[in-house]
A = this chain, B = another copy of it.
């Protein structure tokens, strides 16, 4: 494989993109359904699409437990779709929008990498079409209305100590994690302890991504719990009357964004909730719109399959008809060796015993996917340091496990080239097999039992311990008649357990649920295990300090 690959930004900027109007026309999107944002981005109005074709089949790309070595899930998603298009298939990508905050911090963007990217990467990674700004605005309008209601005589009787929504910014801003607002005396506000989250951690983001249409969006927004009264009755957005203004602020953003890959494959990039305190996949509207336009939709779930895929399958697929027809689990030789106990510094060396030990992690993810009635396939995302012996051994292992496997060489060579052909063929074969999709648990299972089911069946836990705050929330869930809600586990992505250092496939452990967060708008109960960071900080040397714009507008320093 090639190793002298330019930076993602250089590749994106040197690419010759098709005008997005041409991409749309080729994808069967009528001109009047397209709202251009410059030459290479557009919004698509689902209401103006033709409605009479068989919905496309869904390929969900997920991964083994991530490691700092990187697994390249978005890169494989893009590369696979490009390869399917190259194989003559009518294909669409549905991806999350990146959050800008981490881009200014240290994380690369979330648009794939190398020669498997959605482009223009600098647009998509920064403001894009303004969706996250709209979500920030809708959320913060709600927060301002809540504090204004408390200020203006507090007619709803809100307890300032029990406001459950926070203001948000799409920024890594540690100093806003814990703040006191409303200082300055009677004319300035009512003091209370508060904090900002990053926009992607907001319930408004989760609602946005689960809404089926504008009406559903308004109804979900109306159901968001904003806080409690002094006598602990929940107060919702509807009590405040803010759902109309919030919908108005989100109206245009709700239309999915059309872009293309470097190989010209159409992609809807829309919505981007956290994968721990939220469900971690692109909007329901984008996935459904893509299904109306293509025979195959390649989409992605956040983090490893224990978090992202489980939520895609148990939360998103419960809301809308988006259950996958095939699931691809991305693995890398490097990540497997790390789960097999090899320290990061030794990952570049061939080590078959560590590779073998690491398959314990991958195996459990594969077993988990089968619990949903789908036999997954493995995509080995190739890195330059992988040896032929390692790749050969891994293929053999997959065959023994009874799963299809393919080495994807799409980062260095692009899915538009032959690097994704094997993966495309493997996925097409998987799409030919019957699927008997089922949820992990039924709606009617009580929330505590749902959490136990996920912990036992997906994580391999022996037990679940609910701390006192969590037990109180369970009582509230029963009292409010919310036991039917699915659960959304907030757990470290690095381990099946709630201990980030327990790599491989730990078992017999206890999952500690310290608290629950009842998301009545999004329609799930978040189970919080361990500390969950909902407002990241900037590192010592933020990426932002290397960014520049030349006089002619050429950017540099984006990673």
Contact = CB atoms under 8 A, between A and B. Distances in A.
A188 B184 contact: no
Contact of A174 (B39, B189, B248, B537): B189
Interface residues of A, number: 77
A148 interface: yes
B171 A175 contact: no
A100 interface: yes
A179 B175 contact: no
A175 B169 contact: no
Nearest to A547: B245
Given A171-B144, A175-B190, A248 B549 contact: yes
A61 interface: no
A336 interface: no
A526 to B, nearest CB: 21
Given A251-B553, A252-B127, A181 B182 contact: no
Given A179-B183, A183-B179, A244-B548, A134 B140 contact: no
A214 B553 contact: yes
Interface in A345-362: none
A145 B545 contact: yes
Nearest to A254: B553
A552 interface: yes
A189 B169 contact: no
Given A179-B179, A249-B127, A140 B171 contact: yes
A152 B540 contact: yes
A12 to B, nearest CB: 14
A549 B214 contact: yes
Interface string A175-201: 111111111100011100000000000
B148 A177 contact: no
B127 A144 contact: no
Contacts of A143: 173
A126 B130 CA distance: 12
Interface string A291-303: 0000000000000
A284 B452 CA distance: 62
A241 interface: yes
Given A175-B189, A189-B174, A213 B147 contact: no
Interface in A511-550: 537-538, 540, 542, 544-549
Interface stretch (A30-38, A273-281, A425-433, A437-445): A30-38
B37 A251 contact: no
A14 interface: no
A368 interface: no
A170 interface: yes
Contacts of A104: 141, 144, 245
B183 A169 contact: no
A182 B175 contact: yes
A133 interface: yes
Interface string A381-412: 00000000000000000000000000000000
A137 interface: yes
A151 B170 CA distance: 20
A216 to B, nearest CB: 10
Interface in A411-468: none
Interface string A19-52: 0000000000000000111110001000100000
Q: Which 10 A-B pairs have the closest CB atoms?
A: A178-B184, A133-B133, A245-B544, A147-B175, A244-B548, A175-B189, A178-B183, A144-B173, A148-B538, A130-B130
Given A242-B544, A242-B545, 7 more contacts: A37-B38, A148-B175, A151-B174, A244-B546, A244-B548, A244-B549, A245-B557
7 contacts: A130-B133, A148-B175, A151-B174, A151-B537, A244-B549, A247-B549, A251-B555
